[in-house]
Structure 1
Amino acid sequence: MNTVKKDRPHPEIAEAAAVTATGVPTQAAFGDIHRPLAGSTVPPRQVRVIGLGCGDGRHTVLADWDTGRTAHEFTLHAKPVLARVAEDDRLNPGSGCERCEGLMGCEQPPRVNGLLGIPGPRRPRKRRSVSATDLRVHSRCPAQFHLTRVLHLRSGEPESEPVRRGRAVDDWLNERHRQGSCRGATLPATLPGLSEAEQPPALAMLAQHLLDCPLDGLPPDEHVRVQPRLTAYDPELDVLLIADPDLLYTRSGGWIWHETKTAARRPWEGRELMETYPQLPFAVLLMAAGVPGGDPRRSLIELEMLYESSSGCEEIDPGEPETQAEARRIIAELAGPWAVDETYAPKPGGHCAGCEMLGHCVAGRSHLEAW
């Protein structure tokens, strides 16, 4: 959709080449299955797999093999992967459930009626998935939501410094947390993807985290999950709810949902944290509904804020009735317009200046020219 993927898995390339070399040409009429085309077809002697970036127009040859090489690459690389997939009977709920025909009869993901606190759309819609980030982006601009979160378009322009810094910090913390606590860890000299001037603030934020890592002192028999995919399903709305906590770990029978944010300055004190970060009320509603499980009386949501010269951690009890009511209000206000939106009209404003989709948006450009 945007640029050619440089890290496309070799088994995927080998499978594409093998299907091209040995597959039977078919055609499907509207509403019908694929049926073989009439007439004889000469098998190819050479197969070429090309990656094309529809956004920048660039292309690259991923494979250019004769049929003998194609068969060898498939047997060596793709066949073992496909065999593991075919033999694996574990349930792995996630965004893929959106297109699964077996969802209604599946024990996963857990069913939660009315979690978003909104009525259904005026007319039937295809099954959809939604996350807190989806709702936040849609609230800012429906057009930006549709282009980036549904069509997955990306701009060729470099990302902003806060985005690059946050990703670099998150990547290092995720890798470190997979190994355990950050106690005694040595900071790297540099972080990938950041310029020389961007390195000191990011490293300073990591140093603040090392002073009080949430995994410090955690008993070895507790469970730690780094960026797990959590999913729930609302049958009334036919909507999948998706969340990816930065860190999820058990403590004394309860689950701790930990989010980490990097920022140049503290958030505005006049606005509640759950309104500033929709991931928090989303987490409250999921944990109150029993996702991911554990003892709800011992469960907690943590928000760790990392700055250059300080840090802070706020705690939210998802079991408090007042907290749940506030979370329902915030999420319902965000989800209501999203649930019924069918046009995704642009909503010009000050955010247009930093929007990565500005090149696709006439309304945004007109707003900035008149501003």
Structure 2
Amino acid sequence: MSASDLEGYERCPAQWYMERLVHLPRIEEGNQALLRGLAVHRWIAEAHSRGVPCSPDDLPEPADLDRLSLVGGGEIDPADYELAYPFLRSHIECCPLRSNDARSLTAERTLYAYDGIADVVVATKSDAYWKSDDTLTMREIKTVQVQPVANDDEIFSTYLAVAWDLVALEAGLARHYGAIQGEVQLEILSPESAVVHSYSTQDSTIMSMARGRVRRLARRWLADTQWDSLPGPGCSKCSVRRWCAARDAYEASVGSRVSSGAQGAQAT
């Protein structure tokens, strides 16, 4: 069980059940946001593994095919790199390795623990970990087309991974690595800018919110036996929509509302 599992379950229990529990065959739709996100994470993981800060010299223009292997050994498809390029440029200014505190940075490492009460293996994977003095920091990286106009609390509510990482740090991850406290940084990349939001396990209010959110969602997931569908805009691109009886319910409801509105307008 991971943060992405709970996010998927929150979005639609039926989809999570069909994809992750019974492993029904999926049809993956082409998705530029997904491709760019994977390329960004792959490139940054390779770059950080060198132990030196990311720099503009590491990022050739997408048209410069001869230099695409500069970082990552050429493992990123040129088309995917072109999608990721402006986001990677934004990352340079907030690369954690620009700080002397992040010399011991570890990239893209999955950590596991067993939860005997839920009888699941809990997985935590951040885009970067590092320890400075008495603090263990975990950084998550997200890509968006436009930077959200939101404060730290609103960003916290949007991304479950922040709450998940904070709870993991408090529950023993920070202590396991010899730290007294933990910090989660959420780096949001857009083509124009990078913004880093920070959250500490020392903040009692944010920790209460984090524990509550993870607990409520995990409790629902653990007790679920029905795995009901939650029709929404994502149904049209759902990878297991052919197995779902409610796959067209959202579009039908939208069409019905539009039709009713048009009839009402004609009547007036």
TM-score normalised to structure 1 length: 0.59
Query: CA separation of 1:151/1:176 partners in 2, compared to 1, >3 Å: closer, same or farther?
Result: farther
Q: Quote the Cα distance in structure 2 between the aligned partners of 1:295 and 1:182.
A: 24
Would you say 1:344 and 2:241 are equivalent positions? no
- Corresponding residue for residue 151 of structure 1: 22
Residue in structure 1 matched with residue 259 of structure 2 by the alignment: none
Separation in 1 of the partners of 2:149 and 2:220?
A: 25
> Which structure has the higher relative contact order (CA within 8 Å, separation 6+)?
2
Asked if structure 1 preserves the Cα contact closer than 8 Å seen for 2:47 and 2:54, the reply is no
**Which amino acid counterpart does residue 84 of structure 2 have in structure 1?**
A
Percent pairwise identity: 26
Deviations 1:314-343 (A, max 9, x none): 110112211110101211222121010122
Spell out, residue by residue over 1:84-121, the C-alpha distance to the aligned partner (whole angstroms, 9 max, x if none). Answer: xxxxxxxxxxxxxxxxxxxxxxxxxxxxxxxxxxxxxx
When residues 160 and 183 of structure 1 are mapped into structure 2, their CA distance, relative to the original with a 3 A threshold, is closer
For the structure 1 residues 262 and 361, does the alpha-carbon distance in structure 2 shift closer, same or farther, using more than 3 Å as the test?
Answer: same
1:223 to 2:104 alignment? yes
How many residues align? The count is: 238
Give 1:228's aligned amino acid: R
How is 1:1-371 mapped onto 2 (pairs within 5 angstroms)?
A: 130-153=1-24, 155-184=26-55, 185-190=57-62, 192-193=76-77, 195=79, 200-218=82-100, 222-267=103-148, 269=150, 272-293=154-175, 294-297=178-181, 299-371=182-254
Task: Write the distance in 1 (CA, Å) between the matches of 2:199 and 2:101.
Answer: 22
Computing the radius of gyration over CA atoms, which structure comes out larger, 1 or 2? Answer: 1
Structure 1 counterpart of 2:139, one-letter code: H
Q: CA separation of 1:199/1:241 partners in 2, compared to 1, >3 Å: closer, same or farther?
A: closer
Distance 1:360 1:194, change over 3 A: farther
Distance 1:230 1:252 in 2: 21
Q: Deviations over 1:187-208 (max 9, x none)?
A: 144473464xx75552111011
TM-score of the superposed pair, with normalisation by structure 2: 0.80
Over 3 Å counting, the alpha-carbon distance change for 1:342 and 1:246 in structure 2 is same
Equivalent residue letter for 1:338:
W
Partner SS state of residue 272, structure 1: helix
Q: Is the 8 A contact 2:110 2:124 kept in 1?
A: yes
Cα distance between partner residues in 1 of 2:24 and 2:130:
34
Q: Could you tell me which runs of 5 or more consecutive residues in structure 1 were left unpaired when the two chains were aligned.
A: 1-129
Specify the code of the residue in structure 1 equivalent to 2:180.
Answer: P
Distance across 2 between alignment mates of 1:203 and 1:306: 11
Secondary structure of 2:49's partner? helix
Q: Whole-Å Cα distance in 1 between the matches of residues 235 and 88 of structure 2?
A: 31
CA, structure 1 residues 159+182, in 2 after alignment: closer, same or farther (shift >3 Å)? farther
- CA contact under 8 A between 1:132 and 1:243: conserved in structure 2? yes
